Structure 1
């Protein structure tokens, strides 16, 4: 059975799911990994389904609808000593959807285990030559990108998605580190949160605008506020693009691609 996937991201997806299953299971618990093919209906193609099921502490049903949201710290119990699930699952969801697939979670409740199922469209056999050409083409479009974001869920999700598209991605966790990292790396693209601690995104953009090295860099603002006034403030500060959270990855990639030829020609 064949599916068109980025092998690195594929292992990251199931690595996260297996890690969570281990983390939330008792030492004598059981974890199952199942694979099946679901035939297509009404002209749709078949999909491959891979699931990870455990006998662990389960998930509160009220959490399930928001479990994959990147800004939800969704624990499977009140025992926070085992860590949250928000980070890993938001990355899983982003990467699965980039592959044209879907991920869903189910649980009968606390202490009744949980199951995570990933479905991906299947395809005809892929030749090695086709893969090599894809890799070569992706390498030609690789850009240096800096993500300045204090929310770890958001930062890691952005990094995973952008690296999937072949870009070289670094992360800075606040505005001051963002400016320092930008001056050191001189990235083609800088994606910056507005509501940063110590030094906000507007100040970051204004500081970088003073340096001629960043005259041709692409500054993209990320914010939870999307009014016309917010957009105008971002553009005035030096951003070329203003996107609202949670970020739509298709729009973000489209914006980066739109400036791609301009960046390389400079």
Structure 2
């Protein structure tokens, strides 16, 4: 089942690598370089899944998640934190910001497919 997935990461290599992986799985992908851009792109793209890095410039992933949750479609989105931050306090921060899932980089294609299978068709 094809999904609309928005990826936001300030690391170009991580962004393009994940985009290629998701495109290869048959998904429609939109990209953003920071949290502010992610919120703008989401308004046009209407993603079902948003994968956000946490440590981004301008607007970080935590603030972007809160802003996305406040949009009309925000409650229906699956918000995934994909970050290098894996300490318990980071998981608490993502949960409080409205993320559904907290993943620590790097992520495998199998992990990603499993996460995506959890979303509504």
Q: Does TM-score exceed 0.5, indicating one fold?
A: yes
Say whether 1:220 aligns with 2:73.
no
Aligned to 1:246: 106
**Which whole-Å CA distance do the structure 2 matches of 1:153 and 1:192 have between them?**
14
**Which whole-Å CA distance do the structure 1 matches of 2:115 and 2:88 have between them?**
18
Note the C-alpha offset of 1:188.
0.6
Note the C-alpha offset of 1:251.
1.1
> Cα RMSD (Å) of the superposition?
1.0
The 5 Å alignment of 1:1-266 reads: 141-259=1-119, 262=120, 264=121
Q: SS of the residue aligned with 2:95?
A: helix
Q: For the pair shown, which has the larger CA radius of gyration, 1 or 2?
A: 1
**Which whole-Å CA distance do the structure 1 matches of 2:100 and 2:53 have between them?**
14
Note the C-alpha offset of 1:161.
0.6
Note the C-alpha offset of 1:249.
2.6
Residue by residue over 1:206-248, the C-alpha shift from the partner in whole angstroms, topping out at 9 and shown as x without a partner, is 1111112121111100111112221121111011000111223
Normalised by the length of structure 1, the TM-score is 0.44
Query: Structure 2 regions of 5+ residues with no counterpart?
Result: none
4+ runs deviating over 3 angstroms: none
**Which whole-Å CA distance do the structure 1 matches of 2:32 and 2:23 have between them?**
16
Normalised by the length of structure 2, the TM-score is 0.95
Aligned residues, how many?
121
The structure with higher relative contact order (CA 8 Å, sep 6+) is: 2
